């Protein structure tokens, strides 16, 4: 097998590593979405009760939002780092 040049292989390795981290953040966001959905339902039920209950769900939702923002920022950074690597790593091909 003939391998591409070292520059191309290095770009592909970096691109792949960044892509894996990006996918991990997407999975993280999917889990957060599930958690948020559960806490939203609890909070909604809690609002309907007298006296109101499930206030811990509001605390959890705030933590989820902060965590989501972190995942968003990391994903955005990974995408920004991947873009300039793609032409060298893959040319016109989809990876």
- Whole-structure pTM value: 0.82
Residue range 5-47, pLDDT digits in tens: 999 999 999 999 999 999 999 999 999 999 999 999 999 999 9
Measured in residues, the chain has a length of 95
The full DSSP string for 21-90 is: HHHHHHHHHHHHHHHHHHHHHHHHHHHHSSS---HHHHHHHHHHHHHHHHHHHHHHHHHHHHHHHHHHHH
Domain layout of the chain by residue ranges: 6-84
């Amino acid at each position: 097998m003939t391998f591409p040049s070292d520059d191309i292989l290095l770009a592909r390795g970096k691109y792949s590593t960044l892509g894996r981290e990006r996918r991990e953040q997407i999975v993280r966001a999917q889990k957060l979405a599930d958690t948020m959905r559960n806490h939203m339902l609890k909070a909604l039920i809690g609002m309907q009760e007298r006296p109101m209950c499930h206030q811990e769900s509001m605390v959890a939702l705030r933590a989820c939002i902060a965590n989501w923002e972190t995942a968003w920022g990391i994903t955005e950074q990974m995408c920004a780092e991947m873009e300039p690597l793609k032409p060298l790593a893959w040319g016109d091909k989809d990876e």
